[in-house]
Structure 1
């Protein structure tokens, strides 16, 4: 009897959420081109979830994102535009998924190599779009692994850059982050974190997990998300992987072709520095890139 009631409740809840998606779609009005392509049912559900299924707040959030995407055009950022930011491998897509099949981004803030706030954010947005591009069909979220090797307060990104990055993640990529593991941050990071955490909404804040090698519970929590055989040794795993910028660049350029095909602007791909052109790169599915070391 309990199981039947519970199943009935789940069905009612699912029907209610589907109805809410339809309401949001009606509320935002007619869409065209990429905005229409962007606003899938799954997308609308993420915005509703981010605003606790409040129709007006979800609609406002979505409209702000559509305005941002129409001007910032994140889907049009190409690797050659942000390659300099990626030379050290400070953000890269891993060559493995978590236990739920989600794309994994590996971040190494200790490898910060530029002082350009705009460049830093544009590079991050490019990798967010790339991670989404490579999500399995049944997945909407990604996982982050953040390694603090070599990090120092003096070399950290400015507070404004961190704030702007958090704003973009939370407001324009809602419910895209499943979990973020901060691995072995130094004690001095606590001062930085005390400021950064105020930029995070409650939903995002709860997804941030601190992991310390000498804390068994935190290590076990991370391993419940990742197979230890896939994790790089820097995260307490067994895999020995090293970031190869040339190889990663090749894979990102292949993904640029895939992104152009998905968004329908293949004609905008052009030959760049006699290295890359849409005609020279095979359009088939490509393997994931190795993470940074």
Structure 2
């Protein structure tokens, strides 16, 4: 068994099975996967297979099929080749960034601000999300597999949401990053978002929905969730914490991400595969579908889809 098999897991999946049965399931998945490339083999650690098994409730064939789809996606999309310089424009407003602090369990924290959306590039937004996920995973401690999302709805309105991007986001996260989400805290959402969430819930796995918690700054009961989860001295003020220096600075964050690219990948160069996916290229391809997307968004917002 791989050395990382002792990592803490997801929903205690491996603890729900006798050790021998747990190992048998991992080995069954490996057998069904067949021969793998060196890069695919590196991705298919025991802990990775455990996440896919957990996502499919221990069903070996379903977990194997899901993992094969991810390996195919990673071979084509090459998420490990995305570099900061490619997606920096998407990051300018701090719509997604890795917080300086972790939660009390050592989990990486991604801060998300939907109202800070700054592009209409469907491809660009998804690649930025993937970059953020990959970076968050690389910064997880050895005993953790999951992360926390802090979603700040200050200044939000429905113009900040694209149904197309929301659907693809849910698909990428659920199918290719299973069991990576430990908890998603939806902070001060307006009533209009609550209605929207009810509409998009059918696109989400029940497990995912159970990890979404609504927290309101004027509700002491829901606020306690944050107090139990974070050191309030480290949490930024926007979420009721006491750290006034923890806000987003693009210049400082860009420096952190370049350092991470160098640390984890050995270079900060945009790959040849992704180099052609410039912002202008993404905008052009997006504009071809914009009319249909706008119509779909309007139907969702009006409750007619």
Normalised by the shorter chain, which TM-score bucket? 0.7 to 0.9
Matches within 5 A, 1:76-115: 76-115=81-120
Q: Is the CA contact (8 Å cut-off) linking 1:117 and 1:161 kept in structure 2?
A: yes
Give 2:146's aligned residue.
141
Give 1 or 2: higher helix fraction.
2
What SS does structure 2 have at the residue aligned with 1:188? Answer: helix
Aligned with 1:167 (options 153, 171, 178): 171
Give 2:63's aligned residue.
58
Q: Is the CA contact (8 Å cut-off) linking 1:75 and 1:259 kept in structure 2?
A: no
Q: Measure how far apart 1:139 and its partner are.
A: 0.7
Q: Is the CA contact (8 Å cut-off) linking 2:108 and 2:136 kept in structure 1?
A: yes
Consecutive unaligned residues of structure 2, counting only runs of 5 or more, are: 1-13, 272-305
Q: Measure how far apart 1:177 and its partner are.
A: 0.5
Which digits, 9 at most, give the CA deviation of each residue in 1:167-195, with x for residues without a partner?
A: 10011000000000000001111232122
TM-score (norm 1): 0.84
Give 1:157's aligned residue.
161
Q: Is the CA contact (8 Å cut-off) linking 1:103 and 1:142 kept in structure 2?
A: yes
Report the aligned-residue RMSD: 1.8
Rounded Cα–Cα distance in structure 2 between residues aligned with 1:158 and 1:115: 9
Q: Is the CA contact (8 Å cut-off) linking 1:184 and 1:211 kept in structure 2?
A: yes
Q: Measure how far apart 1:157 and its partner are.
A: 2.7
Give 2:196's aligned residue.
192
Rounded Cα–Cα distance in structure 2 between residues aligned with 1:250 and 1:230: 21
Rounded Cα–Cα distance in structure 2 between residues aligned with 1:184 and 1:251: 28
Q: Against the structure 1 CA distance between its residues 117 and 10, is the aligned structure 2 distance closer, same or farther, given a 3 Å change threshold? A: closer
Rounded Cα–Cα distance in structure 2 between residues aligned with 1:130 and 1:17: 29
Q: Measure how far apart 1:83 and its partner are.
A: 0.3
Which digits, 9 at most, give the CA deviation of each residue in 1:2-61, with x for residues without a partner?
A: xxxxxxx96962331121111101110111121111000000000000000000100010
Which digits, 9 at most, give the CA deviation of each residue in 1:215-262, with x for residues without a partner?
A: 22211122211111111111111111221111111111111122324x
What SS does structure 1 have at the residue aligned with 2:97? Answer: strand
Consecutive unaligned residues of structure 1, counting only runs of 5 or more, are: 1-8, 272-293
Q: Against the structure 1 CA distance between its residues 115 and 11, is the aligned structure 2 distance closer, same or farther, given a 3 Å change threshold? A: closer
Q: Measure how far apart 1:73 and its partner are.
A: 0.5
Rounded Cα–Cα distance in structure 2 between residues aligned with 1:11 and 1:125: 31
Matches within 5 A, 1:21-36: 21-36=26-41
Rounded Cα–Cα distance in structure 2 between residues aligned with 1:243 and 1:57: 40
What SS does structure 2 have at the residue aligned with 1:174? Answer: coil
Q: Against the structure 1 CA distance between its residues 270 and 144, is the aligned structure 2 distance closer, same or farther, given a 3 Å change threshold? A: closer
Q: Is the CA contact (8 Å cut-off) linking 1:260 and 1:269 kept in structure 2?
A: no
Q: Against the structure 1 CA distance between its residues 69 and 80, is the aligned structure 2 distance closer, same or farther, given a 3 Å change threshold? A: same
Matches within 5 A, 1:29-48: 29-48=34-53
Rounded Cα–Cα distance in structure 2 between residues aligned with 1:242 and 1:249: 14
Give 2:230's aligned residue.
226
Rounded Cα–Cα distance in structure 1 between residues aligned with 2:265 and 2:235: 31
Q: Measure how far apart 1:160 and its partner are.
A: 1.1
Q: Measure how far apart 1:270 and its partner are.
A: 7.2
Rounded Cα–Cα distance in structure 1 between residues aligned with 2:150 and 2:56: 26
Rounded Cα–Cα distance in structure 1 between residues aligned with 2:225 and 2:92: 31
Extract structure 1 runs of 4+ deviating beyond 3 A.
9-12, 268-271
TM-score (norm 2): 0.81
Aligned with 2:217 (options 196, 213, 216): 213
